[in-house]
Amino acid sequence: MISLSLCMIVKNEQEVLARCLESVEDLFDEIIIVDTGSIDSTAAIAKGFSDKVYDFPWVDDFAKARNYSFSKATMDYIMWLDADDILLPSELEKLKELKRTLSPDTDVVMMKYNVGFDEGGRVTLSYCRERILKRQNNYVWQDPVHEFIPLWGKIIDVDISITHGEKNRTHSDRNLKIYERMLSQGGELSTRGKLYYARELKTHGHMQKGIGQYKAFLAAGDGWVEDCISACFELSFCYEDDENIFNTLCQSFQYASPRAEICTRMGEYFFNRHRFKEAIFWYDLSLKLEKPTGWGFILEDYWGYIPAIQLCLCYYKLSDIKKAIEYNDLAAVFKPDDPSVLQNKQYFQKYNSL
C-alpha cells in the first residue's frame, strides 16, 4: 500500500478547515498545512489535526505557496485539498480503496472536482484536476493565480469526486488584483493565464478588457482544446451585438465536435430573435450530443435540463402543446422540483386531454 501526504495552503479558514480535515479522517499518513498569514484561529485548528503546520509569507503567488507545501511532504504520494473542499463519505471509502490498491508505477491520479451546485444540491459544474502526484517526480506548480501542474508520466483517471463545500461564496477581487499587480510590475501571462485573467475581468464586469484577453488567449494558438471551447462560450456573453455573439459561438466548432453549452447558447441566440424553429434545431442537438469524458469543464444543466425546458417553451410558442408538455416532462427528469417545471405542469393541466 502506498503512503500518502495531504498538503494544504490556508489563510483565515477557521469556518471551514475542521470540516475539511474531519471529512478525510484516517486517510493520510501525514498532513502538511501551510498558513500564509491567518489572523483568525486557522493555525490553532490546523495544529489540532497535525504537528506539521508551517508559516509561509504571502507573496501574491499561490503556486509558490503550494510548492512550499509540497516540499515538506515525505510520503510516496502527495494529495492536495483546499480548506473549503470536502470528501463525502462514499468518496472517502473509494479513496481508501485506491490507496490500498494504487499501482506504484502511477505518476498522477486525476479526480473529478464538483464546484457548482443548484438549489437542490445537484452538481452544475465539474471538471477534473491533478489530485494525487508521485512525490519523487518533483512536480512543480505554475502560475500565481489559478495555479496548475504541467503533467507527465503515467496518468490515470478515477471515479472519485472532491466536493467544493462552500456553495455560496461571493467573488472577491483578490485574484484580479494579483493579476493586475503582476502586470503592472512587468510580469507576463502564460497562455493559460490569459484565459483566467479574462475570466476574472468578466466576473467583475470589465467586459471590454475581458474581450481583449479572451481574444489574446485564443490567438495564442497553443491553448488546451477544452479551454478554447470554454473561452468561446464565455466570450459570447461579453458581447451585445448579434454578429460577434454568433461568430464567437461558431468559432468553437473549429476546435472539436460541438459541446452542449455552445449549442444551447446558439438556441438562445435564435430564441431571442423569435426564430423558434432554428432554436429548436440547436436545443435538440444539445440533447443528442454525447457528453465528453475528458478533463474539461462540464456544465451539467446544458446537457439536459436547459435545452429541455427551452424546447418546452419553443413548442409552446409554436402552439404545439403536446410537444411542449413532452419536453417539460423531460426537464422534470433532470430537475423534478424545479420551479419552472412545476409551474409549467400546473399550467398544462388544462391540456391533459391531449
- Residue pLDDT, tens place only, 284-329: 999 999 999 889 999 999 999 999 999 999 999 999 999 999 999 9
Provide the residue type at 200 as one letter.
E
In terms of Cα–Cα distance, which of 180, 196, 73 is closest to 136? 73
C-alpha cell at 279: 432554436
Q: Would you say 212 and 183 are in contact if contact means Cβ atoms under 8 Å apart?
A: no
Q: Would you say 6 and 74 are in contact if contact means Cβ atoms under 8 Å apart?
A: no
Residue 333 confidence class, pLDDT cut points 50, 70, 90: very high
Residue 97 confidence class, pLDDT cut points 50, 70, 90: very high
DSSP state of 58: -
Give the pLDDT of residue 353: 59
Give the pLDDT of residue 323: 97
Q: How far is CA 44 from the centre of its chain?
A: 31
Q: What percent of the chain has pLDDT over 90?
A: 94
Residue written as grid cell 509558490: 64
Residue 169 confidence class, pLDDT cut points 50, 70, 90: low
Q: How many CB atoms lie within 10 A of CB 194?
A: 24
- Residue pLDDT, tens place only, 135-166: 999 999 999 999 999 999 999 999 999 999 86
- Residue pLDDT, tens place only, 299-309: 999 999 999 99
Give the pLDDT of residue 25: 87
In terms of Cα–Cα distance, which of 224, 168, 161, 162 is closest to 196? 224
- Residue pLDDT, tens place only, 1-50: 999 999 999 999 999 999 999 999 899 999 999 999 999 999 999 999 99
Element (H, E) at 67: helix 62-71
In terms of Cα–Cα distance, which of 86, 100, 93, 54 is closest to 73? 54
Phi-psi region for residue 197, left (φ > 0), alpha (ψ -120 to 50) or beta? alpha
Give the pLDDT of residue 354: 52
DSSP state of 159: E
